[in-house]
Chains A and B, each alone.
Chain A
Amino acid sequence: MRTAVIVFPASNCDRDAQSALAKITGRDPIMVWHRETELPDVDFVVIPGGFSYGDYLRSGAIAARSEIISDLKKKVEKGLPVAGFCNGFQVLTEAGILPGALMRNKSLKYICKPQPLTIVNSKSRFTTGYNGQKDVTFPIAHHDGNYYADKKTIDRLEKNGQVVFRYNGNPNGSINDIAGITNEAGNVLGMMPHPERAVDPLHGGTDGIELFKSVLGAL
């Protein structure tokens, strides 16, 4: 099982993602610098959290125009499973791979806390391993997590089962309490919470493990 993590300047949860993937697959992921033009041949790609390019301009906006993104888009269309957590979700929306945008939190403050979530679609490729378990807690840590899309898009996401996670207690003002969505094909997940920080009982709990097992097991 081979995995990769894309690293942008000031990605900073690259190590969190690396540790989680290594722990779950037993094999270190390949760390891919954003200036590369081609992704290595892997089964799953994570776009990590952080502050790519210092969140300057808009969160994720500059990273979404990196060299590596064109190849990422090509492989996404061919069905490569990809997950973006936190800043990774912002990059995916800015790159147009996922719909919508992440605006500043309603409180205008950065917020870091364990966040209860509800798994809305337990049949997605990222949630099958939860076996119907509905409630999980992942840490959140973001300033721009307030998910927004126009009504038509939201209706489509809801209808297609693309809303995978909802906040249980909305921390940031997201429409419909949306915490995580997939693309229409279901191979790309974007979410603000950090499942990669919930794979260790000594650090953030273990609720995130099944997410990785789901996507890797479905391969």
Chain B
Amino acid sequence: MSKKIKITPEVVKEHGLSEGEYEIILDRLGREPNINELGIFSVMWSEHCSYKSSRRHLGKFLTTGKRVIQGPGENAGVIDIGDNHAIIFKMESHNHPSYIEPYQGAATGVGGIMRDVFTMGARPIANMNALRFGEPSHPKTKSLVAGVVAGIGGYGNCVGVPTVGGETNFHAGYNGNILVNAMCVGLADQDKVFYSAAKGAGNPVFYVGSKTGRDGIHGATMASAEFDDDSEEKRPTVQVGDPFTEKLLIEACMELMATDAIIGIQDMGAAGLTSSSVEMADKGGVGIEINLDKVPQRETEMTPYEMMLSESQERMLMVLKPGKEQLAFDIFNKWELDVAQIGKTTDTGRLVLKHKRKTVCDIPIAPLGDDAPNLDRPHVPTPQRDVLAASDARPPTDYNDAMLKIMSCPDVASKRWIWEQYDRHVMADTMDSSQSGGDAAIVRVHGTNKAVAITTDCTPRYCYADPVEGGRQVVAETYRNLCSVGAEPIAITDCLNFGNPERPEIMGQFVGCVEGMNEACRALDYPVVSGNVSLYNETNGVAIPPTPAVGGVGLIDDVEKHATLAGAKAGDTLVLIGKTEGWLGSSLYGREVLGHERPDVALFYAPPPVDLASEKAAGAYVRRLIRDRRVTAVHDCSDGGLAVSAAEMAFSSGQGTSLKGHGDVPLHAWLFGEDQGRYLLAVDENSVNPVISTAQSKGLEARIVGKVGGDNVSADGAYDLTLSKLKDANEGWLPGFMAETA
């Protein structure tokens, strides 16, 4: 691309810039930009980098708390887990690339999120992922599942970070836009946390990692537009991952970080060299000058435009203290990584790029951030749905069939086929993972007696029916997941996946979900410390269901005092904490058994309300029971209600479970209702009375609902199935689906 390219209105439009935005550029530069400068403004002001549709709403989130060291705004969030340890974590989407090229899209999503974490000085200790695919009958679904799973495994397994958990849903709403949200959790020393600000003029700027190629140019812009039938043509904008280089990069960065050489460091993610250099300079209040001839290049004749917009993977940018150059060269050479000093910081506040002895870009840095569009898009709330009274929802014609159907439906069915392709144990600290079907993964803090608990969750059907209530619920469910294993919930990261924000009803879903999430964060003292937004998840005008995925992290003080599902033993009593009215609106029972979502039925009812005060009280109580060893197993009640919860406990412990009815609630609503804020506990016979009476003294509802033991999973007057039959149904769906030939 020659510098002679004339900046016509068409060129401006191709760069995704509006006329008004282009006017601002002309004003700030006092002249017409050249193509390189236009490209830089274009990516910095893209939805993906500038959060122009979401920024004003995200600003409302609770982002501080007693354990928050760094909230949103850095590469990842940082929390304090005591003893000078910090946990650094973030979740990020790689949706658009994964739909176009599932293996590489998912692999580079995992690579990118790990870089966000180790760039801050943390060794990644666990990966999670939240995946959403189209309906199983859609012709692309199977190959997308196979590709995404292989990509996540191929990258994470090679780098040697355990993939410890996640969630996978299937729904027609994702037929044209799958969601691949990857989360990484890392461990650092609090006095060795690194930030991105490039403070001070005259400091050397270093490039390390892979060479720059022509891959992924304009990936950030791709993630800022809808798909249409020609999306396959965007394949060249998907990047290719190299986990081997990533592993070397982690080790080399850790080695350099152990010295005092680094002033600022950032990975080159979306919009590559552009966003990393601009953001580092902007945060440090300095200018930056780069000689593009020094950038390690994989291809010949690359133009400045291509180098600045390339999204080649496994690259980092760092600003070092003067005099530390040789130290850096030695370390990166040892790890056989490309390393180059490509420029220096300046006191001009400008981004200056040189190429073949010419200046090819000279623009002020501040407007790239300060003047980025901050839109107040129109939004309309989702209309209120009717409440479905339990008595208005019919019971199943055959409870055994209903139970088998729910336990083998794609959302509840075992995801073993997926997680057996992930190394869950590498690094020697995984205490609990997908393997046990628990509510949260547990990873020990290496060499200590404490552990972090990690979960991801989202119930899109609730968010679709009522974004505000759904937003509250997703935060509350992750809180519950962490409490279920005995962890103190500390903070969350989020990945907000929505359709086209230019449509007021979609923007209304976004605003509603953020409002509900924020309410829950504040009520539960559970702040947001990092996250990302993925909009335009829409194909040919059909948007995905609103999907604000949340990743929660909590702390277990003493590894001996945690709970899983597996601990339930024969003779234990099942106790339910929390109130049950039998809420069937937006339930799995409604969808799978009553067919509420079928196009010819299309009944959407209000989702279960979340009582945040009792959520907090129930969580505290369950954590205390685990600490005091008053329970043998804990599981939250979520999708599919009490029935699914008791069945899953049976799968994990190998013991049958039998439930009894509740006189005041219709049987099917009692078993399958999805009332929130509930936990199913397995309690030793001798502890039952104190567990119930103490709960009641705290204003919590608690009642005996059944027993552990025997070979069957049953509920009085409803279903009675052998554990093995039910487990076969639950385990069989996904491998069967993946083995089918089209």
Contacts and interface: CB of A to CB of B under 8 A. Distances in A.
Interface of A: 9-10, 12-13, 15-16, 19-20, 49-51, 53-56, 109-114, 139, 141, 143, 194, 196-197, 200, 202-204
Contact of A194 (B160, B422, B425, B444): B425
Contacts of B422: 110, 112
Given A51-B158, A51-B247, A54-B158, A203 B430 contact: yes
Contact of A141 (B244, B426, B431, B559): B426
User: Considering the complex of A and B, which 9 residue pairs feature the smallest CB-CB distances, nearest first?
Assistant: A12-B160, A54-B244, A51-B158, A141-B423, A16-B428, A10-B247, A19-B428, A110-B421, A202-B431
B335 interface: yes
Given A139-B425, A194-B425, A111 B248 contact: no
B272 to A, nearest CB: 22
11 contacts: A9-B247, A10-B244, A10-B247, A15-B428, A15-B446, A54-B243, A110-B422, A112-B424, A113-B435, A203-B425, A204-B425
Given A9-B247, A16-B427, A112-B422, A202 B444 contact: yes
B157 interface: yes
Contact of B428 (A10, A55, A114, A197): A197
Nearest to B158: A51
A89 to B, nearest CB: 16
B444 A203 contact: yes
A15 B435 CA distance: 22
Q: B157, B422, B435: which has the most chain A beta carbons within 10 Å?
A: B157
A32 B638 CA distance: 49
Contacts of A13: 160, 426
Given A113-B420, A202-B444, A203-B431, A9 B248 contact: yes
Contact of A202 (B244, B245, B421, B559): B559
A203 B351 CA distance: 50
A196 B245 CA distance: 26
Nearest to B163: A112
A9 B336 contact: yes
Contact of B157 (A19, A141, A196, A202): A141
A9 B159 CA distance: 10
Contact of A203 (B158, B244, B429): B429
B153 A110 contact: yes
A200 B428 contact: yes
Interface residues of B, number: 32
B101 interface: no
B488 interface: no
B538 interface: no
B421 A56 contact: no
B279 interface: no
A13 B559 CA distance: 22
Interface of B: 150, 153-154, 157-160, 242-245, 247-248, 335-336, 419-431, 435, 444, 446, 559
A112 B154 CA distance: 13
A100 B45 CA distance: 57
Contacts of B158: 10, 12, 51, 54-55
Contacts of B154: 110
Given A10-B248, A113-B435, 5 more contacts: A10-B159, A16-B426, A51-B157, A197-B428, A203-B444
A112 B425 contact: yes
A141 B247 contact: no
A151 B157 CA distance: 33
Contacts of A111: 420-421
B166 to A, nearest CB: 14
Q: A12, A55, A109: which has the most chain B beta carbons within 10 Å?
A: A12
Contacts of B150: 109-110
A152 B435 CA distance: 40
A202 B158 CA distance: 24
A203 B429 CA distance: 6
Contacts of A10: 158-160, 244, 247-248
A112 B423 contact: yes
A193 B244 CA distance: 22
Given A197-B425, A197-B428, A9 B420 contact: no
B244 A9 contact: yes
Contacts of B160: 10, 12-13, 50-51
Contacts of B430: 203
Nearest to A55: B158
A196 to B, nearest CB: 8
Nearest to A49: B426
Contacts of B426: 12-13, 16, 49, 141
Contacts of B420: 111-113
A51 B153 CA distance: 13
A141 B424 CA distance: 8
A38 to B, nearest CB: 18
Contacts of A112: 157, 419-425
Contacts of A12: 158-160, 247, 426-427
Contacts of A20: 428
A13 B157 CA distance: 11
A51 B243 contact: yes
A55 B8 CA distance: 49
A50 B423 CA distance: 10
A86 B421 CA distance: 15
Contacts of A200: 428
Nearest to A202: B431
A90 to B, nearest CB: 14
Contacts of A9: 244, 247-248, 335-336
B165 to A, nearest CB: 13
Contact of B427 (A15, A139, A143): A15
Contacts of A109: 150, 421
A111 B559 CA distance: 28
A13 to B, nearest CB: 6
B627 to A, nearest CB: 17
B652 to A, nearest CB: 14
Contacts of B248: 9-10
Contacts of B335: 9
Contacts of A204: 425
Nearest to B442: A202
B421 A53 contact: no
